[in-house]
A and B are shown apart, each in its own frame.
Chain A
């Protein structure tokens, strides 16, 4: 008598959403560290970019003395406005690169800490793809939280520092729509960075034989 082995093992998306959300919530302080890396990275990029946005929106309305004050403050203007010089672009790219390394490191640690947990859920019948899906969704949550908080922080600090340097005219010409756009793409960037960071460690963890994952020290 031969008993057949079936293939049906499922993990519906609403369960993935629930499991990964609870996991972030329960590990609040641990995930805060990973999220903080993202927050700081995005805050820096958002700070730089929103400063340029504000300068661009104030420049046409500024009188000569304010324009002099701005250019003497170290900001370079080209025919396309502020923030488009090669130096500015390099600065943004480099800051993102440095962040990627930090985030990969943080995620690698976070996933390594959970090898035992991964081995256990594989013993309970999880497929490799379940493990990857749970980790990717956790990374998306962290990316969103880090991205939104980081861009808010960056924009706030940029606005305050420009007001301090150039006066309340900054607030008068505050480019609301551009700030929203900055927030949106900075949050998108954070999610992307977070996913890049978690993808490799999650894949390694998911592919481990359960016996090997269970042997890992907690």
Chain B
């Protein structure tokens, strides 16, 4: 799991994505180049409709680009077959969604352990690790609850525990605080930051939540399907200061 610092965990080159809606072509991404290093906490910022979520899907190998290439751990995603893609999604990438996307009919512990079931762990191993993860997010005593019996913040915590199930190199979060109130959103952001420090996981989040900026190492601003600018953390404080 340990890599040298210069290692690029995600690299996008000339990525475009065109959606066809009837006779109209909508260019969601118009050529994006982006390099993300191991252990970074990166935020993708932009208004809705800017191509943020599309970019998120490209990085997460959830959708195919119309042209250009996506490399995850220097492996070209387009070259992978269905089995290898499933392996990648199972072991390398953890996903967190705005709408939590827990399986409604499963309990918290079942949700957390599902990726480990796919990874072929045995029952004792995955139960133990699942409980450990729920403990980290502070929900160990609620392991038998279904998502409908948990608050939004608690559901997102379960989703975070699930995303870490197979010790992924990357955690992708699509608007993780979008459906949460201010305080709960802040708690989730700090939890993510803490996890990225402790576990040296690369965290990439698409967001338009300004609270996200304070904890990000770098911020990528997206506008109209292109990268508008990329800011490092030190410079960021100044520009936020100016706004405030």
Q: Are A and B physically bound partners?
A: yes
Which chain A residues have a beta carbon within 8 Å of chain B's beta carbons?
Answer: 1-11, 15, 22-23, 26-27, 116-117, 119-128, 130, 209-212, 214, 218
Contact with A along B82-102 (1 / 0, CB 8 A): 111011111100010101011
One of B101, B105, B119, B146 near A9 (C-beta < 8 A): B119
Shortest C-beta distance, B209 to chain A (Å), equals: 20
Contact between B95 and A8, CB atoms less than 8 A apart: no
- Total cross-chain contacts (CB, 8 A): 101
One of B84, B101, B102, B162 near A6 (C-beta < 8 A): B84
Given known contacts A1-B7, A209-B63, is B115 in contact with A125 (CB within 8 Å)? Answer: yes
Chain B residues near A218 (CB-CB < 8 A): 99
Chain A residues near B240 (CB-CB < 8 A): none
One of A5, A15, A117 near B84 (C-beta < 8 A): A5
Chain B residues near A7 (CB-CB < 8 A): 81, 83-84, 87
Chain A residues near B73 (CB-CB < 8 A): 3, 5
Shortest C-beta distance, A36 to chain B (Å), equals: 20
Which chain B residues have a beta carbon within 8 Å of chain A's beta carbons?
Answer: 3-4, 7, 57, 60, 62-64, 73-75, 80-84, 86-91, 95, 97, 99, 101-106, 110, 114-115, 117-120, 146, 162, 166
One of B3, B64, B101, B115 near A214 (C-beta < 8 A): B101
One of B90, B105, B115 near A23 (C-beta < 8 A): B105
Task: Report the bound CA distance from A116 to B105 in whole Å.
Answer: 13
Given known contacts A2-B74, A120-B101, is B63 in contact with A9 (CB within 8 Å)? Answer: no
A-B contact pairs, 29 of them (CB 8 A): A2-B74, A3-B74, A4-B75, A5-B73, A5-B84, A5-B88, A6-B87, A6-B91, A9-B120, A11-B117, A22-B105, A22-B106, A26-B105, A26-B106, A26-B146, A116-B101, A117-B104, A120-B102, A121-B114, A122-B86, A123-B89, A123-B101, A124-B89, A124-B114, A125-B86, A125-B89, A127-B82, A209-B63, A214-B101
Contact between B62 and A214, CB atoms less than 8 A apart: yes
Given known contacts A3-B73, A9-B83, A117-B103, is B162 in contact with A124 (CB within 8 Å)? Answer: yes
Task: Report the bound CA distance from A117 to B147 in whole Å.
Answer: 13
Shortest C-beta distance, B158 to chain A (Å), equals: 12
Chain B residues near A2 (CB-CB < 8 A): 74-75
Chain A residues near B75 (CB-CB < 8 A): 2-5
Chain A residues near B64 (CB-CB < 8 A): 209
Task: Report the bound CA distance from A40 to B123 in whole Å.
Answer: 40
Contact between B106 and A10, CB atoms less than 8 A apart: no
Report which residue of A4, A10, A214, A218 has the largest number of chain B beta carbons within 10 angstroms of its beta carbon. Answer: A214
Chain A residues near B118 (CB-CB < 8 A): 9-11, 124-126, 130
Contact between A125 and B87, CB atoms less than 8 A apart: yes
Across the A-B interface, give the 10 residue pairs with the lowest CB-CB distance, nearest first.
A125-B90, A26-B105, A211-B63, A211-B62, A7-B83, A3-B73, A211-B57, A125-B118, A10-B120, A120-B101
Contact between B120 and A8, CB atoms less than 8 A apart: yes
One of A126, A127, A210 near B62 (C-beta < 8 A): A210
Chain B residues near A119 (CB-CB < 8 A): 101
Chain B residues near A4 (CB-CB < 8 A): 75
Shortest C-beta distance, B186 to chain A (Å), equals: 25
Contact between B63 and A127, CB atoms less than 8 A apart: no
Shortest C-beta distance, B107 to chain A (Å), equals: 9
Chain A residues near B88 (CB-CB < 8 A): 5
